[in-house]
Amino acid sequence: MAKTPCKGMAPRVRRTRQLLHQALGTLLETRAFETLSVQHITTAATLNRATFYDHYPDKFALLECMAASRFHDLLTARGVKFDGGCASALKAIVLGVCDYLAGLPALECARQRQLEPHLESAIIAVVRAMILQGLERHASNGAASPEMMATTVSWAIYGGAKEWVKTVDRPSSEEGADVVMTLITPILSLSRLTRRDTHHPVETT
C-alpha cells in the first residue's frame, strides 16, 4: 500500500519502482499476467531479479501498486477533487473507474484469472479514500459511519463499473456511469451528500 513510488522517497528507489511499473505495463499489452514471470519483468526493466524482491513480495503486489498508482494518476489528471460540487466529483470518479477498466487489455480473457482479483482491492482502496475525503465535509448524521459508507459505496461503484465493462454492446462510459450513479446516490443521500449540489461553477480544465 505504501509501496507507491511516492514523492517523498529516495529518487533512486522511485526510479527503480517506476521502471518496474513501466515494464509491467508494457508487458501487459502483449502478454497475459499469468504468463509473466518476475524474470520477464525485471529483464524488461533492465534490473536484476533479486532487486524486485527488495521492493515487492511478489508480482501481485507490483500489480496492485501499479494499478492503484495509474488509476490515481488518471483521476488527478482529470482534476477530480471535492472542491467543487460533490455530485460532479462522484460522477467523475465513477467515470474514471469505468474508463480505467475499459482500458485494460483483454480483461475478459480466461488467462487473466489472477489479474482481476488483485486489481479490485487496489482500485477500490483509491476510490474509498477519495470518497472518505469527500465525506469529511458532511455531517455523518446517518446510521452508518463515514468509513462504512465510503467502503460500501466504493465497492458498489467498482461492481457496477465491472458489470458495465462486461456488458455486450455496452453503452458509452458516460451512460454507464450515469446508471451506476443512480444506484449509489441513494446511499450517500443518507448523509446529505447531494446538498448544495452544483454550487460552485468550478470546471476542471
Partner DNA sequence: ATCATAAAACGACGAATGTTGGGAATCGCG
Partner DNA sequence: CGCGATTCCCAACATTCGTCGTTTTATGAT
Binding site residues, a second copy, CB under 8 A? 57-58, 60-61, 113-114, 116-118, 120-121, 124, 142-144, 147-149, 151-156, 158-160, 162-164, 167, 179-180, 182-184, 186-187, 189-190
CA distance 122 to 151: 13
**Which residue intervals of the chain are DSSP H helices?**
11-28, 38-44, 49-53, 59-77, 86-102, 115-135, 146-165, 173-189
CB 205, CB 76: distance < 8 Å = no
47 binds, among DNA, a second copy, none (CB under 5 to 8 A by kind): DNA
Q: Which one of 34-42, 91-99, 134-142, 158-166 is the stretch in contact with DNA (CB under 7 A)? A: 34-42
Among 95, 121, 91, smallest CA distance to 193 is for: 91
CA distance 160 to 180: 6
Binding residue for DNA, selected from 22, 58, 167, 202, defined by CB under 7 A? 58
The answer to the question of residue 143 lying near DNA (CB under 7 A) is: no
Give least dist CB 200 to a second copy, A. 27
Cβ-based neighbour number of residue 113 at 10 Å = 11
Give the residue with the Cβ less far from a second copy, 106 or 190.
190
8 binds, among DNA, a second copy, none (CB under 5 to 8 A by kind): none
CB 134, CB 149: distance < 8 Å = no
Give least dist CB 32 to a second copy, A. 13
Give the residue with the Cβ less far from DNA, 38 or 132.
38
The answer to the question of residue 38 lying near DNA (CB under 7 A) is: yes
CA distance 98 to 105: 14
In the chain, the amino acid numbered 83 is D
Write out the H or E segment, with its range, that includes residue 48. Answer: none
Give least dist CB 59 to DNA, A. 6
170 binds, among a second copy, DNA, none (CB under 5 to 8 A by kind): none
State the number of CA atoms in the 13 A half-sphere of 173 facing the CB: 16
Q: Point out which residues bind DNA (CB under 7 A).
A: 10-13, 15-16, 37-40, 46-51, 53-55, 57-59
